[in-house]
Amino acid sequence: MSKTDPSSGACSPGSTLEDRTVQAVLEVERGGPCFLDTLDSDILALDIQFHDGECHCDVTLDGQDDDGVVTKHCNRRACSYCPGLVFSTHGCIPRFRRTRDNSFVIRTFAPDAATVADVVDELRSTCESVRLRRLTDADSDADLIEQVFEVDVSVLTGKQRDALERAIEGGYYEPSGGKSLTDLAEEFDISKSALSQRLSRAESKLMKQLVDTR
């Protein structure tokens, strides 16, 4: 059996190499329960892969009684609302950086901002909420939103703009965390789902401008 010499830099037949110029970090609130909910210990690391509709997961947990760390493996059919499946259908690899409550913080690399916009749109059809925490140039780590993009806020309704401004001021979009969606909904005296839809529509309008600009 012949093997490709790794030092030659050649790919095996049928394989492709594609530049991934955009890095995105999203926080996704999933649309249903997950086996992770049954784990009592704190999750330190999470590695999930999808193959033929199955979820293969290694979870590193904080060991109890000073036992250090424990890694558990789970192999099961992927849930229809799992955000990881959406990334896979768009040719992106989800890297689960953090999990808390019912949400995941996921990093991925994409060929362009349009692909990220497609991922976000599809996630919103299956998940409770999606927040684009950061969009950067994969090579320079420069923030694309700040680097090449001016926002035309006139496309937003008054309520959408007010919601975005309040969310930004409250640290809702900060990686380190701030006010939660529940906190902000209470300030507006509306339901959590209503505020999520308001923010999602505003974010979608701004994302479309970003894609068109690039």
Q: Which of 24, 26, 19 is nearest to 145 (CA)?
A: 24
CB atoms within 10 A of CB 158: 7
Mean pLDDT of the chain: 78
Flag whether 180 is in a domain.
yes
pLDDT digits (tens, 9 = 90+) for 34-52: 888 888 777 878 888 888 8
Structural domain contains residue 179: yes
CA gap 150, 130 in Å, rounded: 22
Q: Residue 98: beta bridge partners?
A: 105
Assigned domain for 196 exists: yes
CATH number at residue 177: 1.10.10
User: Total structural domains in the chain?
Assistant: 1
Residue 213: predicted pLDDT = 47
pTM of the predicted protein model: 0.58
Question: Within a domain: residue 214?
Answer: yes
* DSSP H/E element including 180: none
Average pLDDT over residues 12-24: 76
Is there a domain that residue 170 lies in? yes
Range of the domain at 159: 149-214
CA separation, residue 173 to residues 90, 117, 169, 177 (Å):
24, 17, 9, 7
Any idea which of 64-78, 109-123, 156-170 has the lowest mean pLDDT? 64-78
Crossing angle of helices 192-213 and 158-169, rounded to 10°: 90
In a domain, 15, yes or no: no
Residue 168 lies in a domain: yes
Q: What is the pLDDT of residue 197?
A: 85
Interval 139-192: pLDDT, tens = 665 554 444 344 566 677 888 888 888 888 888 877 666 788 888 999 999 988
What integer pLDDT is reported at residue 113 of this predicted model?
Answer: 82
